[in-house]
Amino acid sequence: MTPVVLVVALLPLAAALLCLFMPRGFNEAAAVVSGVVTFAGAIILLPAVLGRTVTIAPFIRIDALSEVFLLATAFLYAIISIYTIGYFARERRDSRHSGVAAPQFNRYSRKFYVGMNIFAWSMLCAPLVNGLAFLWIAIEITTVVSALLVAIDRTAGATEAAWKYVLIASSGLGIALLATIILYYSGAQVLGTSYDLEFDSLLAAARHLPSVPVELAFGLAVVGFGTKVGLFPMHTWLPDAHSEAPTPISALLSGALLATSFYAILRFYQITVTAVGPTFPQTVLLVFGVLSLLLAALYLFGQQNIKRMLAYSSVEHMGILAIGISFGVPIAFVGVLLHVLAHAAAKGTAFMGAGVFIHKFGTKELGQIRGGLNALPWSAPLFLLAIAALGAMPPFGIFRSEFLIVAGGLSNGRNVFGAVFLVLVILAFFGLSISTTRILFLPAVGTPIARGEPSVWMVVPALVGVSALLLLGIHPPELLMALLNHGAVELQGGH
Amino acid sequence: MLLAVHDSVIPSVFDGTANTVAVLVLLIEFGMLRASLFRSQIRLYAVQSATVSVLAFVVAAGRNLPDLYVLAAVSFLLKAIVVPAVMLRLLRGAKTEIAGSGALGVASEVVISIVVAAFGFFAIGALGIHSSVLPTTALSLSVAVVLVAFVLMIVRRDVVSQAIGFFSLENGVSMASLVVAAGLPLIVEVAFLFDLLVAVVVFGVLIRVQSNRGKTLSTTGLDRLRG
């Protein structure tokens, strides 16, 4: 398995280097090859981690839990790299119309490709690395790279969003570093004063860790990494960054980055639940989860900007992940892990669709996009399906995952919160679907926009995304379900 | 200090030195609150980083942890020399010298910071986290530094002060790691530091973009995105 792991861990970085030095036409191909091969590598790894841990000493460690996040990120990386071809073809045409010189645009596209590949690489590294210290470093790298990518358009909005993002997320990660250090302290009580924070020894020692420092570390970790997950009230950077970044980056931020940061919280959860029992960590996650879900559901009504709307939907889904973990039973954990995969596919598809709308109508304002279904024969229905999936409509993957989460809550006697969860999710669904039906079905005012897709490259990945959602919803492959079950066992603390 | 006395009836010379250095770090953080020139702000940060490095050196000598000598040297080099130099260089092209007034007057900022710092100090003291390397007081002080750094970032309205606020937050965390994680492997510590360096570069790029676009380092214009 070692060569496959190394390919997954290094290929995106190699692609970034190639984009830096090779001629411009090469960028697209390098990103697509890197994305698709990485995803294939992640799939090949799947059978190897069922009930086992692949360790490549001393830095890399993959178990079922990390494999889930690896799959989600690699899948999104693959389809986004395809989408970006179409995105740049359009950007090139637009920039020519607005009089931007070709060399200037080429520099822009090269920077973009280098950044996107490094960004994907750092997100793939986070679940691969062994130990909380390296995990923190990987997540910090995702922050700095993605902040530059948010700022890449250099508009007033992008500058503002990038500044808020880097300042708030870095401060959050400062708190997360404090959490890591305090966990190191509690580990040192058992493992001796000099050890690295690798998972196996920490998990083995977790039962004997002192409870107060572990609880403190977990609280700080939820606040710290939760800043990057986008949990309320640390979510404030999220809608800005998602709406101002170039669309392929928004999709990666929302579908992969938020989940990757949640992965860090899950690692802290694994240790905390073994050390101090389930009540404390689950209560913390429940509070943050319900508040995030509530806030996002309310903000989804009356959003004016199509990408901000999708950003708040991300806050909603991250809240759902936190609530799912707080229900504390394996069936809910399976739901959470499935939700990570399904949300990556659904949110990626939705953002890709939003990008097509923005190109077609020349605006992000929901109020100015009308008659979408007539103008975009493929992208509009696909966008509608992605939104239906995000609203947990059957037969898509998110319906299955949220069903499992609620079933877990009910089976564990959390009836009230199961009900609250359902009400808020339905509220969020209304918020999303009202705006979406308006932009799709209301007739266009003024001069009608010509019917036609901007680029076939922007349609194919959305088709792949919706197919993945259908697969996850109707009949998830057995191997995948086995993986999710193993991941749930690991989260249970039954390592 | 009270807590240290409480823990060990007679504080040793080592404890006294360590606590004094830690108090200095907090005092410098307060100094940043009232520094109104960008340059003096950056200089204060350099002095604070140097002080943290001194603390690492003291711990290395007092507790016989040779790794920490290396850490002290690397962190001095990066945080007291390279980072301030990078920041000062960035400011060379900027028109403004004086950080705009904060959201509050200096006096109210300091009062709020004292309250926040006291909260951090006593809250951590009450948790009963004891370390064999440094007295708990140093941990309480470092959490106080982190909290005051947050106040600094919140009340200041210019990108330089906010960035410096974040870097000094990281100084507070470094100090905490000396207390509770002195044995952390050197490679990890150094990786943390280089990570900080990358963050500094990114902050620098964004400060550049901001000052080129808006011809100002103030953040008052950064309030368009909301809702």
For A132, nearest residue in chain B (alpha carbons):
B188
Q: Which of B173, B179, B194 has the most A C-beta neighbours within 10 Å, making it the best mutation to test the interface with A?
A: B173
> If you average pLDDT over residues B106-117, what whole number do you get?
90
Calculate how close chain B gets to A133, using CA atoms only, in Å. 7
pLDDT of B192 higher than 90 = no
- pLDDT reading at B6 higher than 60: no
Shortest alpha-carbon distance between residue B225 and chain A (Å): 6
Count contacts between A and B (CB, < 8 Å).
134
To test the contact with chain A by mutation, choose from B180, B187, B189 the residue with the greatest count of A C-beta atoms within 10 A, namely B180
Model confidence over A430-451: pLDDT tens digits?
999 999 999 998 887 777 788 8
Question: What is the pLDDT averaged over residues B29-55?
Answer: 90
Block residue for tokens 């001393």: A58
What's the farthest any 2 CA atoms get from each other in chain B? Answer: 59
* Region of residue A130 (left: phi > 0; alpha: psi -120 to 50; beta: else): beta
* pLDDT, tens digit, 9 for 90 and up, residues A289-343: 999 999 999 999 988 999 999 999 999 999 999 999 999 999 999 999 999 999 9
pLDDT reported for residue B99 = 67
Residue A340 corresponds to which amino acid?
V
Residue A495 pLDDT: 43
Q: Tell me, what DSSP letter sits at residue A305? A: B
Nearest CA in chain A to B197: A144
> Between A199 and A266, where is the model more confident?
A266
Residue A233 pLDDT more than 50?
yes
Higher local confidence (pLDDT), A255 or B159? A255
- Cβ separation B209–A159 shorter than 8 A: yes
pLDDT, tens only, A21-79: 887 778 889 999 999 999 999 999 999 999 888 888 778 999 999 999 999 999 999 99
Give pLDDT, residue B1: 44
**Burial degree of B113 (CB within 10 A; 0-12, 13-18, 19+):** buried
Residues from chain B that touch A137, judged by Cβ atoms under 8 A, are 191-192, 195
Only one residue has tokens 């639940």, namely: A273
* Residue A141 CB neighbours (<10 A): 20
Say yes or no for a CB contact (<8 Å) between B129 and A182: yes
Among the partner residues B129, B185, B199, nearest to A170 by beta-carbon distance = B199
Closest approach of chain A CAs to the CA of B199, in angstroms?
Answer: 6
Q: Do A163 and B185 touch (CB under 8 A)?
A: no
- What dihedral do alpha carbons A27, A29, A35, A37 form, nearest 10°? -140
pLDDT of residue B179: 83
Q: Is B15 helix (H, G, I), strand (E, B) or coil?
A: helix
pLDDT at B96: 67
State whether B202 and A308 contact (CB < 8 Å): no
Cβ of A167 within 8 Å of Cβ of B213? The answer is: no
Write the single-letter amino acid at B174. S
Residues of B in contact with A157 (CB under 8 A): 224-225
| pLDDT given for residue B9 in this prediction | 59
Work out the average pLDDT over A125-145: 92
0.90 surpassed by pTM: yes
Instruction: Give B5's pLDDT tier (boundaries 50, 70, 90).
Output: very low
Could you give the 3-state DSSP secondary structure of residue A193?
A: coil
User: Smallest Cβ distance to B180: which of A136, A184, A192?
Assistant: A184
Amino acid B214: pLDDT: 65
Nearest CB to A184 within list B127, B184, B199: B184
Mean predicted lDDT score pLDDT of chain A:
91
Give the pLDDT mean for A6-28: 88
pLDDT at B159 over 90: no
Pick from A133, A163, A174: CB nearest B222: A163
CA distance B215 to B213: 6
